[in-house]
Structure 1
Amino acid sequence: MDFRKRDNVSVDCVIFGLDTDGLKILLRKRTLNMFSDDYPVVDDWIITGGRVFISKTLEASANRIFEDSTNFSVFNRTQFRTYGNPSRIKSDKDLLWVRSHGVKNQSMTIAYYFTQPIDCIDVDENEFKWFSVNALPELGFDHYEIIRDAHEDLKLKIMVEPIIFDLMPDKFTLNELQFAFESVLDIELDNRNFRKKVLKKTYIVPLNETKKGTAKKPSKLYVFSRDVYDKVSEKDFIINV
C-alpha cells in the first residue's frame, strides 16, 4: 500500500444517527492553542474527515474514516457533493489549523454521509459527541454548509429510497418509524394517514412480536425486508407526505 496522501484532496463524513430526541450528528472536537497572542485559540467542532491515500479509492477512504471514528464496519454510505471553492478555508482559525497540520490552504473535499442506529456506534467520548441537527455548536471550516447540504439530500432520499431503515433498529414499531420520518424531515405527520400508507408497503413486514418494556400497551413490531423491496417492480415513494 502507498501511504502517501493527496495533499489537496480530502474526504469529509457526516455521520447521522437517530435516538429518542431526534436526528443527531456526530461531531469531533477540534482544539489548538499556540499560547501566543499572535494566534487564535481553536476550540470548536468539526465533522470527521481526512486526506485520501494515493492508493485508496474515495469510497475506501470514507469507510476508513467512518470505521476509525465509530468502531463500526457496516457502511451505509451516500456521496452527495464535492466542495472545491479555493477560498473555502479562510478564517484565521481554519488557516492556523491546516498550517499546523502541514497541508495546503486550497483543498477539495468529497463529502459523504453515513446513516446508522446510534446504539451501533462506539465513540471516544473525550473526542466525539452527538448533537441535534437543529442545535449545532460552533463549527470549523465550511462544515455548517456541508451538514446542511447532507441533511437536505437525506430529506430527499428518504422519500424515494429505503435509507430511513438504516437509522432504525432491525425491529421497530410504526410509531418509531413515523418518529424517524418526522425527525429527518422536521415535520409532523398525521398518525392515521401515515399508518395507512405504510401498511400498504409489502416490504414493511409485520412480526408476531410486540415491543416489551414500555408502560403503554405493547405495540406490534415490524421489519424492513430488503429482499421484498428489491423485487418490487415499480418503486414508488417510501412514504408520500
Structure 2
Amino acid sequence: MSAMFAELFNSLPAPTSDYPPLEERPYPERNTADIFRDSLPELEFRLEEASVKGDIQEVHDLLQKGADKNAPLDKELKTPLMIACQLGWFSLVKWLVEMEDVDIDGPISRCGFRAIDFAGKEQFRWPNEDVEIADYLRSKGSNYTWWGACFAGDVRRIDEYLQNGQDINELNPVLWNYNAMDCAIHGGCGKAAQFLVARGGMVQIRNCHIPIWDEMLWSVGRGDAFMYKEWGIEEGAFTKI
C-alpha cells in the first residue's frame, strides 16, 4: 500500500516556483517560500516578522526608523494591521490604530479583505471576550466587505450589500472560488447561511474527493470534476477532447 502511495506521490507534477534564479533575487539569503516577502526592503521585512510575533515595541521602533506602516508585507498583500487582526494580537491592533494611525480601511488584501475581515473570519469578535478585535475596529469606523460579512455572519451588513445590487452568488477567485454560502458555512454562521439561502444563495456541490494538491481546492464541481478529467470525459491538464 505504501509503495502505491509513493508511486502516486512521485507521479504528481512538480510544484511551480515563483522564485527567480538565485543571482536575480534582491536578497538571495532569504527563503521564506514567499518571493514577495523575500523581496521586501529590510525595514518592511523585519516589520512583517515583528507583526507576526505581535511585538509592539519592535513594530514601533521599525516605524520610527521609516518602515511603511501601511505596506503590504506578503504575497497576500497583508499589512501589519491585517496580520495582527488575523493572528489575534489585540494589543498590537490597538497600538497600530491609536498610536501609529494606520489606515484601517484603505488597504485591501489580495482576496479582497480589509483588516476587519481577517478578524471576523478568525472569530476575533463578540462573543469571544478579550479578543473582540472586529467589534473594536467597527467602533473606529471600519466595516466588513461582502466577503468579511459572510465569514463573520453579519446579516445586517449582508443585507445592505444585497440591497445595493451585490451578486449573491459571486465567486471569490482567491478564496478557493467560494461564494457567500461557502463563506458563511466555513465561518460557522448558521443564521447567515439561512438568510442567504432564503434570498437565492446557491449551495455549491464541490468535488467529492479529497484534494491532493492545492489547485483542487478551487474546483467547484460544475464542468470541473477531477474524476471526469482523469476518465477523459472532460478536458483537463492531460486530456484534450
Calculate the TM-score normalised by the size of structure 1.
Answer: 0.30
Between Structure 1 and Structure 2, the one with more strand by share is 1
Higher relative contact order (CA 8 A, sep 6+): 1
Calculate the TM-score normalised by the size of structure 2.
Answer: 0.30
